[in-house]
Structure 1
Amino acid sequence: MISTGIAAQNRKGRFNYTILETLEAGMVLKGPEVKSLRLGRATINEAYAGDRDGEIWLFNSYIPEYQGGVLSRFETRAPRKLLLHRKQVDKLLGAVARDGVTLVPLDIHFNARGVAKVTLGIGEGRKKADKRQAIADRDWQRDKARLLRNKGRE
């Protein structure tokens, strides 16, 4: 059971997109959905956030049915409304209106009060060469840290 911390993470989100800015939003969830999230079985790898009637919604996120009770029936891939201030919604919709910019859910987590939140990133899609460069940079940082760590042992 997860009381605080990350319940689901989109690992490919930061790899496939250059994240320009992040934002935390609340989620409208039912009781069994929260219980299922606390078990840590949700996935948001194929999820995306978008506009519906001037509001921001989370689409295609998977929260499995909670097996602990009888009244736990809900749609596993239902769109879920995100709770944001009007200024934040307008800012996000303006950013999405630009070409090549999308809203990427980076993780679903529980804050210190135990409330489910989703971290959204405003991201631009990366090209294949950019992805290769990111891999090369990450590998170099890892090798550099290993060399510096082993230097003191010689």
Structure 2
Amino acid sequence: MPKEKGRNVVASNKKARHDYLIEDTYEAGLVLTGTEVKSLRQGRASLVDGFVDIEQHEAWLHGVHIPEYTQGTWTNHAARRKRKLLLNRAEIDKIERRVAEKGLTVVPLQLYFKDGRAKVEIALAKGKKSWDKRQSLAERQADREKQQALGRHLKGMRD
């Protein structure tokens, strides 16, 4: 059987990009059981309530929902258990230091398979205020209108 190549996204956390200002991102491996991997390969996961916590110099992913594998038996996993993240010691220390001094939080952005291995993209993030959210929505809308106007102009249409 040929090895998987590339990046196959299972779940992404769009709400995190809306609610937080992303400062830095990291790619981390996940320690999973067999039924969790099978459930992820079916494309079933939710990152909405997820967050990362550093406990005794180890990174743990909390609140991520990976539903039970439908063909699983008594070996099935708990859907919302905490999962260990595989990061370098230097990365863990850097994340821990920045969270402690700046008051940042660590949120998962994407869960995906990269060359057959389950990975999660985590981000150091700062919470946005409500006016920041409105401002980013207005910027996105202005960019969309600008692109549409440019497209109409290139096609020779009038506004």
5+ unaligned residues in a row in structure 1: which ranges? none
The verdict on how the C-alpha distance between 1:75 and 1:69 changes in structure 2, with shifts beyond 3 A counting, is closer
Over residues 32-87 of structure 1, what are the superposed CA-to-partner deviations in whole Å (9 max), with x where a residue is unaligned?
10010111110010100011222110001000000123244111000000001100
1:109 correspondence with 2:130: no
120-129 or 93-102: which moved more? 93-102
The verdict on how the C-alpha distance between 1:141 and 1:75 changes in structure 2, with shifts beyond 3 A counting, is same
| Alignment correspondent of 2:151 | 149
Give the percent of matched residue pairs that are identical in Structure 1 and Structure 2.
Answer: 41
- Aligned counterpart in structure 2 of residue 78 of structure 1, from 73, 78, 81: 81
| Alignment correspondent of 1:49 | 52
Structure having the higher Rg:
2
Contact 1:100 1:125 in 2 (8 A): no
Over residues 1-48 of structure 1, what are the superposed CA-to-partner deviations in whole Å (9 max), with x where a residue is unaligned?
xx6411111111111111011100000000110010111110010100
Structure 1 ranges of 4+ moved more than 4 A: none
| Alignment correspondent of 2:129 | 127
CA RMSD of aligned residues (A): 1.2
TM-score w.r.t. the length of structure 1 is 0.94
| Alignment correspondent of 2:63 | 60
Query: How many residues in Structure 1 have an aligned counterpart in Structure 2?
Result: 151
**How far apart, CA to CA, are the structure 2 residues paired with 1:78 and 1:100?**
25
- Aligned counterpart in structure 2 of residue 13 of structure 1, from 7, 16, 26: 16
TM-score w.r.t. the length of structure 2 is 0.91
5+ unaligned residues in a row in structure 2: which ranges? none
